[in-house]
Amino acid sequence: MYQPLQPTTNNLNNETAEADEKIFTTRSVSRISLKDWGFTEAGVNRGNTTAFENKLRLIKAGHIVDNTYDAEEENKRKNQLEAQVLEKEQANITEEANQLHLKNVKLPDVERQIKTEETNIIKKQKEIAEGTIKSKYSSARFLAYTILASLIAVFLVLFYASAINASFFRNIQQMVASNSADDVALMLNSIFDAKGIFTPNIHLIFVYFGAAVFFGFGLLPHIFNDDEKLKWLKITAAVIVCLLIDCLLAYKIDSSIHELKLMMGVADTSWVWYKSVNFYMVLSFGFGTYILCGFLYEAAIKEHEKKNVNAIAEIDIKGYKNTIEALQKEVIELKKELSNSIAKVAATKLEIEKLKKEIEVALLKPETLQRNMENFYSGWLKYLTQTPDHADKIQDCENIYRTFNTPIDASIAAMPTTTNLLN
């Protein structure tokens, strides 16, 4: 009735005359219902509780099934489990390759960079001590940067003075009423008012002090350049403020020119400020020149700092240390990644072993195993209730059955693949 493999022996303490019972590593299929088989086994073993417990254990492990056993369903489940094993093994191969890459490539490379930076620090400190550092300072470059920055700074002061004068102190109505052809022509054809900023007048005090204020706004990015905290945010904000101020001045000057043209009857009816050439000329000569002046100012300062070779060397050393600090953080992150990868591989291996055990026992559906135990117990109990001599064993068998009557899952069912031969 069965096709057992690898027979061994196991001594069971039965009340039957049969002292030894053979055990096989195979699945036994009952050709009768498990309820009837339970009744028969109870009689053979005279209701022995140990035998009852052994039979329940085998049924729960899926080693004994009744004639409802479906081999196709079992193969399907096996194939699903094998597919999961294959997927996890491939994932482990990929993860182990990543581990090798981390250990043999990434970590050594970062550690090599750290040693290089440490060597650079030692080398630079030695050069400071020996006084062998060569200066890269160029007096010609410094002089050129300084002269150009100074000339442009003077231009910016005059430009903003002219812009303030044109925006706040030039009276268009008075200029038209004066019938001065020169003044009107200057206003119509020029965005700068050189005459206005050099003609003695009380309002020139405000004009030039106002120009100094605008020039001060232009220096803010260079002041913030020494502040490490929120450095770029502050510099960006200062540049945007300067751009807005120049846009307002450009709009004011261009709209004043357009207003004068309207009064003279020569205005362009399609005029729009953001399409006006005058607007962008003012913006270019103001904001554009300010940016150029800023670059030249920074270049002059940096060129002058090159004179102090020791200070430059200390800055280089600070840069090396910052690089080392960043690389050390990267090493910590890589080691953490490696540790997580090792733990992941170990966990996946445990899952693979668990799945392989499930494949070995080829579990049926949990609800099927539960029903099989219920049927077997029903037959066993029927025998005990019909045999007065064994009535005292009913409660013991009930207690044993309760211990087995728990939810069945893969972890519970993964048990040794041995089974008692059904008689």
- Is residue 126 pLDDT above 50, yes or no? yes
Task: Report which secondary-structure segment, H or E, holds 28.
Answer: strand 28-29
**Pairwise pLDDT comparison (148 vs 197), residue with the higher score:** 148
Mean pLDDT value across the chain:
76
Residue 210: predicted pLDDT: 82
- Is residue 230 pLDDT above 70, yes or no? yes
- Is residue 160 pLDDT above 80, yes or no? yes
Tell me what the mean pLDDT of segment 132-156 comes to: 88
**Pairwise pLDDT comparison (347 vs 271), residue with the higher score:** 347
Encode pLDDT of 23-74 as tens digits.
333 455 545 788 888 888 888 888 888 988 898 888 887 777 665 555 666 6
Residue 411: predicted pLDDT: 39
Give residue 331's identity as a one-letter amino acid code: V
Tell me what the mean pLDDT of segment 323-336 comes to: 93
When mean pLDDT is compared across 87-91, 123-127, 339-343, 366-370, the lowest value belongs to 366-370
- Is residue 94 pLDDT above 60, yes or no? yes
- Is residue 6 pLDDT above 50, yes or no? no
Sequence-distant (≥ 6) Cβ neighbours of residue 373 within 8 angstroms: 56, 59, 60, 401, 404, 405
pTM score of the predicted model: 0.44
Residue 13: predicted pLDDT: 39
Residue 221: predicted pLDDT: 79
When mean pLDDT is compared across 201-215, 302-316, 360-374, the lowest value belongs to 360-374
Packing angle, helices 204-224 and 139-164, rounded to 10: 140
Q: How many CB atoms within 10 Å of residue 383?
A: 20
Residue 147: predicted pLDDT: 95
Residue 25: predicted pLDDT: 37
pLDDT tier at 329, thresholds 50, 70, 90: very high
pLDDT tier at 112, thresholds 50, 70, 90: very high
Q: Which of 166, 140, 187 lies closest to 300, judged by CA?
A: 140
When mean pLDDT is compared across 179-183, 310-314, 384-388, the lowest value belongs to 179-183
Burial state string for 168-204 with b = 16 or more CB within 10 A and e = fewer than 16: ebbeeeebeeeeeeebbebbeeebbbeebbeeeeeeb
Residue 200: predicted pLDDT: 80
**Pairwise pLDDT comparison (300 vs 411), residue with the higher score:** 300
Tell me what the mean pLDDT of segment 325-344 comes to: 92
Packing angle, helices 139-164 and 231-264, rounded to 10: 40
pLDDT tier at 159, thresholds 50, 70, 90: confident
Residue 321: predicted pLDDT: 92
Encode pLDDT of 377-411 as tens digits.
888 888 888 887 777 788 888 888 888 876 544 43
Residue 355: predicted pLDDT: 82
Cα distance between residue 307 and residue 139, in whole Å:
10
